[in-house]
Structure 1
Amino acid sequence: MKYKLKSSKGWVVKNQRPEEFLLGPKFYYSDEEVERYSRSSGMKKAQEKIAFRVLKLLSIPEGSTLLDLGSGPGITAEVYRSEGFKVTCLDVIPKMLEKAEAKGFACVLGDMRNLKELFPKRKFDGVVSVSALQWLKNSEDVKQLAEGIFFVLKKNSPCIIQFYPKSEQELKDVLGIFKQAGFSGNSVTDNPGNPRKRTIFLVLKKTSN
């Protein structure tokens, strides 16, 4: 993501990622890349581990409805379903959703910045997202996402977002945008002292209408 940041403090990721030089996920996830992603046992294991952590942070009862943003081929959604949740998958890549749909999930093709238009009357018990938010390019995109999630969530419902910020300052900026949109909450960092294993979550709650 590109921001007009304050002087950066704390950790900074030095390696360049595809999200930084490509215009969006459509330019990275070709049909061949989707197939590779879907078949990767390493990717599946990593995504499942994050999904179980998301559920622990989510802390809502079985049977609740979840909207999985940037769901990809449904790897994380399978974990949520296995634990008793009713999952709707949203992704901007048609081939990804073909994979998720083949697993029996309700799927919506669309951009996660457009949640108000995609779900004008539907509300969810929780919103989750794994490894997707970093594709947004600027603070205005994040603002649109935050306002959209707020719109589709029921009152007092949680939102857990795992993503890969470029720096500690970017993490603070993104969290600030969500709070400005009406959320309460904070960030949680697993393995904070190990850059390779560091995993970051926004743990948010809609506390007002």
Structure 2
Amino acid sequence: MSKKKQERKKQAFEFFIKHQRPEEQARDPLVFYTQKEVTEYARSKALMRIQEGITKRALRILEAEPPARVLDLGMGCGFASTYLRLKHYQTVGIDINRMFLNFYDIPEINPVHADMRQFAFRPEMFDFIISISAVQWVLAEPKLKKRTQYIKNIAEICNFVLKPGGKIIMQFYPKSDEAMKEFGGIIADTDHFSGNFIIDNPDIPKKRRIFLYLEKPIH
């Protein structure tokens, strides 16, 4: 094992979580996001600003330029998808919760009711795939076998719909260093992508942003 790999293996991040997260309270977004929760989320200007900022950062990492075609996994009420559309990207968003999709009447962002673990589009349809603050719901599955299968399903489908040379960025909130590395390891084991974690503000837990960056090879 190279010195670089040894250092990466040793590297660990501390997570200070004072309050129970939504995915820990319900584990199923359809249970947690009632109409009341959806309304509070969708009307939050603070969440809108946060997600717009994360989306801007994700686009810089991807080096994406409009009018690229972008798939937004777990789009929620469309904060990221709306920003992408305003910046002239061809945007399609999916979410498992119809209440999120219907909250704002924005047909231009092409909202699709679908589960990120089992959705379908044409092969090699997208230049980029982006996911903001959604993957942790999949990681909340308590059974390792199911959790592993869900993550593999996401990797397989993303590989199918992404063009050769396409890129993926997933920003998420793991509950621990082990959960973060488990997610990356399962994706790596599919052998579909090359990539790495990109971590902003690694030494400041409250400001830390964790991204999994992936590239699909050109055959």
**TM-score of the superposed pair, with normalisation by structure 2:** 0.85
Q: Deviations along 1:62-114, whole A, 9 cap, x unmatched?
A: 11100000001111112212222111010001011113543522111010001
**Count, aligned residues:** 200
**Distance across 2 between alignment mates of 1:96 and 1:105:** 13
CA distance in 2 between partners of 1:183 and 1:125 (Å): 14
Matched, 1:167 2:176: yes
**What residue number does 2:25 align with?**
21
Runs of 4+ in 1 over 3 A off after TM superposition: 12-15
Q: Does the CA contact (< 8 Å) of 1:126 and 1:157 recur in 2?
A: yes
Counterpart contact for 1:10–1:169, Cα < 8 Å: no
Contact 1:72 1:100 (8 Å CA) reproduced: no
Change (3 A) 1:208 1:166: farther
After TM superposition, list the pairs within 5 Å mapping 1:1-209 onto structure 2.
10-15=13-18, 16-102=20-106, 104-115=108-119, 118-121=120-123, 123-136=125-138, 137=141, 138-181=147-190, 182-208=192-218
Higher Cα Rg, which structure: 2
CA distance in 2, matches of 1:146, 1:13: 29
Aligned mates of 1:166, 1:71 — CA distance in 2: 21
Does structure 2 retain, via aligned residues, the 8 Å contact 1:19–1:135?
yes
Q: Which stretch has the larger CA shift, 155-164 or 176-185?
A: 176-185
Q: Give the C-alpha shift of residue 180 in structure 1.
A: 1.9
Contact 1:101 1:107 in 2 (8 A): no
- Percent identity of equivalent pairs: 35
Q: Distance in 1 between matches of 2:172 and 2:92?
A: 20
Structure 1 match to 2:3? none
Contact kept in structure 2, 1:91 and 1:97, CA below 8 Å: yes
Comparing 27-36 with 85-94, greater Cα deviation is found at 27-36
Q: Pairwise CA RMSD of aligned residues?
A: 1.8
- Local SS of the residue matching 2:171: strand
Cα distance in 2 for partners of 1:104, 1:54 equals 21
1:28 deviation in Å?
Answer: 1.1
Which stretch of structure 1 is more off in the superposition, 105-114 or 17-26? 17-26
CA distance in 2 between counterparts of 1:192 and 1:9 reads 10
CA distance in 2, matches of 1:50, 1:125: 19
Residues 161 and 202, structure 1, Cα contact 8 Å, conserved in 2: yes
Q: Structure 2: any 5+ residue segments left out of the alignment?
A: 1-10, 142-146
Quote the Cα distance in structure 1 between the aligned partners of 2:32 and 2:118: 21
Shift of 1:194: 1.1
CA distance in 2, matches of 1:10, 1:95: 35
Q: Normalized against structure 1, the TM-score is what?
A: 0.89
Q: Deviation of residue 143 (structure 1)?
A: 1.3
